[in-house]
Structure 1
Amino acid sequence: MTPVQFDVLDPIKLPLVSRLYKAYYPSGRAKKDELTIVGKCDQQVVAVVRFKAIEDNRLLTGMLVVPEFRHQGLGHQLISYCEKHVLQSGDFCFAYSELESFYQQHGFFTLDSDSLPNTLRGLFERYSQKKSLAAMQYG
């Protein structure tokens, strides 16, 4: 496999990510006001994660690795890139419960939803009604 290159996506190229989400993660929506990091292999986007500013906080959201590229360590590579270049102490993540240990390997710790800032707590409560999620914080 050709090495994957990670970088910040120019917002003008968001349609590439939108097509990816539509195909593999329909609830994901890339927006121009978010920081979007992509992994590319042979000029094809194969991994993506977004960081959404919510008041004074930042939420890691919408992480996706294209199915045929899964189980090759790309998720770890993507988060490792973010650890070096993007993540800041205090960033948050609402991880699927089955991915909690994945994020813990990359510096996130689980917190009680009552410890979340008010705006994030409301989002977490809404999202976790339909999905089994863990509230997590980086640092």
Structure 2
Amino acid sequence: MTETYEKLTPIAYPLANRFYKQSGEKGKTQSSDEVYVARSGANIIAAVRLCPLVQDPANRANPSDTLLLRSLAVAPAYRRTGVGSQFMRYVVEQIGSRACWCYPFSWLESFYGQTGFKVVAAEDSPDFIRSPFENYRRQGRDILIMGRHIQDTVGE
């Protein structure tokens, strides 16, 4: 069966949350997220959240056009089948020219790299990316900072 892709409407976000839980993932949608899913028939087999980043904490009401890719998950039965790579190509189309950051596990560098994400050193990252990254690293997570279309935000 061929996969289909869609952007969920906020009323359908509980479907993504249920998928995350069933897949053993910690992801939980927020009302401000863009949530995309891949389906096989009616079943969700992959999901991702694109979260708008607030670069200026003093102005939380005005998020930038910069995104954080979070909670990319593929159902266990579909891992290592190419579903994740195909879904990621669809997600990158939805990102378009917007700047997008992510904190992938280090072993996923080539997976994200195949769709244009590049590793960025912590010291070359803006504070709104570097600070959470440093917290995650202190927790022992083996992660990277990667970005796409981020040239305007690097080094701020």
Shared fold (TM-score greater than 0.5)?
Answer: yes
- Distance in 2 between the 1:126 and 1:74 partners? 31
TM-aligned CA deviation for residue 58 of structure 1: 1.0
- Distance in 2 between the 1:8 and 1:133 partners? 27
Residue aligning to 1:112: 121
Query: Is 1:42 the counterpart of 2:41 in the alignment?
Result: yes
Give CA-to-partner distance per residue, 1:80-115, whole Å, 9 cap, x none. 112222243521111110101111111011010122
Residue aligning to 2:145: 135
Tell me, yes or no, if the aligned pair for 1:87 and 1:138 is still in contact at 8 Å: no
Name which of 108, 112, 117 aligns with 1:103: 112
User: Which sits farther off after the overlay, 44-53 or 87-96?
Assistant: 87-96
**Residue type of the alignment partner of 1:20:** F
- Distance in 2 between the 1:28 and 1:127 partners? 15
- Distance in 2 between the 1:6 and 1:65 partners? 13
Kindly name which structure, 1 or 2, has the bigger radius of gyration based on alpha carbons: 2
Query: Is 1:59 the counterpart of 2:68 in the alignment?
Result: yes
Unmatched runs of 5 consecutive residues or more in structure 2: 55-63, 150-156
Name which of 68, 80, 83 aligns with 1:71: 80
State the identity %. 28
- Distance in 1 between the 2:27 and 2:97 partners? 23
For the aligned residues, what is the CA RMSD?
Answer: 1.4
Unmatched runs of 5 consecutive residues or more in structure 1: none
Residue aligning to 1:16: 15
Number of equivalenced pairs: 138
**Residue type of the alignment partner of 2:145:** A
Flag the structure with higher strand content: 1
Tell me, yes or no, if the aligned pair for 2:133 and 2:145 is still in contact at 8 Å: yes
Give CA-to-partner distance per residue, 1:3-36, whole Å, 9 cap, x none. 1101111111111111111222442111121011
- Distance in 2 between the 1:122 and 1:39 partners? 31
Query: Is 1:93 the counterpart of 2:66 in the alignment?
Result: no
Tell me, yes or no, if the aligned pair for 2:13 and 2:29 is still in contact at 8 Å: yes
Give CA-to-partner distance per residue, 1:23-75, whole Å, 9 cap, x none. 22442111121011100111111100111111133111100000001111111
**Residue type of the alignment partner of 1:32:** S
